[in-house]
Amino acid sequence: MKNFGVIGSGNMAQALVRGIHTKFPDLEFVIFDPTKEKSQELAQAVNGRAVDSVDDLLDCDISMLGMKPQHLDGFVKDHGDKFQGRNLISLLTAVSRERLVGSLKTENIVRLMPNTPSKIGEGVLLMNFPTGFDLQARVVEVFEACGLVEVVTEEQLDGLTIFSGSGPAYVFQFAQYLHELMLQRGIEEDQSRRIVNQLFVGSSTLMRESDEDLAEMISKVTSKGGVTIEAIRVFRDESFQSFFEKAMVAADKRNQELAAEINSLK
């Protein structure tokens, strides 16, 4: 794979391209965006090439669809017949393989669901490949520049989106609760933010590097009759897990509703 087309340069597409470029500087990016300033800015950042027409991407080994899902119909109307049999990566949230294949006339479509930490090379990237996709190993290698790549079924990708894709927001929300509680107790803003930041960095790094399961790690922070176990007891008594499960059910319901809406559009 020598060249990589990019169609649409939204925030996530830009983050992925920039991340890939840091580890694969020789990979040529050919970038198209209706807003030419965006494609030019991204191309300059990765030593790529901004082009004026989608036709200029047709010789690329693979191209990534980075537009918003609601823009797919217009793209298909104008360019859909040009990608027959070509290799594509779809960043379009909730747009099914069936719809993509039917619209773009190619079976060679990879669905990709990254999350925002991909911007710093620490993301979770769910990827679903068609059977017998020739470039699978190379595509996985390239996107590992942005974080952990998990190859999954399409059903798993859709089901895991509420965890890996939405997950950073849950982490940030819990961090915000801690931050605000410290402010209420008179801790200064900057100091509170530093403590919360390091708390999550340190804990997640320890979790990644430890062979212990999470229950063991919790037990090592708590002690009978101590301070921490009292907070954990409240979490358990107030059924924090049940509350979180309700949140996941709500997110999953909305995810399915959006998928139904998007995939019913013609």
Residue 265 above 70 pLDDT? Answer: no
pLDDT confidence tier of residue 261, bands split at 50, 70 and 90: confident
Q: Quick one: tokens of 235?
A: 């979490």
DSSP alpha helices (H): ranges in the chain? 11-23, 36-45, 72-79, 97-104, 136-143, 154-160, 167-184, 189-209, 214-221, 227-237, 240-264
Residue 212 above 80 pLDDT? Answer: yes
pLDDT at site 266: 55
CA-based radius of gyration for the chain: 22
pLDDT at site 111: 98
pLDDT at site 232: 94
pLDDT at site 264: 77
With beta carbons less than 8 A apart as the criterion, state whether 167 and 115 touch.
Answer: yes
Express as a percent the part of the chain with pLDDT over 90.
89
Q: Quick one: tokens of 219?
A: 């037990």
Residue 194 above 90 pLDDT? Answer: yes
Q: What is the pTM of this model?
A: 0.92
Q: What confidence tens digit (pLDDT) does each residue in 35-91 have?
A: 999 999 999 999 999 999 999 999 999 999 999 888 899 999 999 899 999 999 999
Express as a percent the part of the chain with pLDDT over 70.
99
Q: What is the mean pLDDT of residues 122-134?
A: 97
Q: What confidence tens digit (pLDDT) does each residue in 15-51 have?
A: 999 999 999 999 999 999 999 999 999 999 999 999 9
Residue ranges and CATH numbers for the domains of the chain are 3-151 (3.40.50.720), 167-259 (1.10.3730.10)
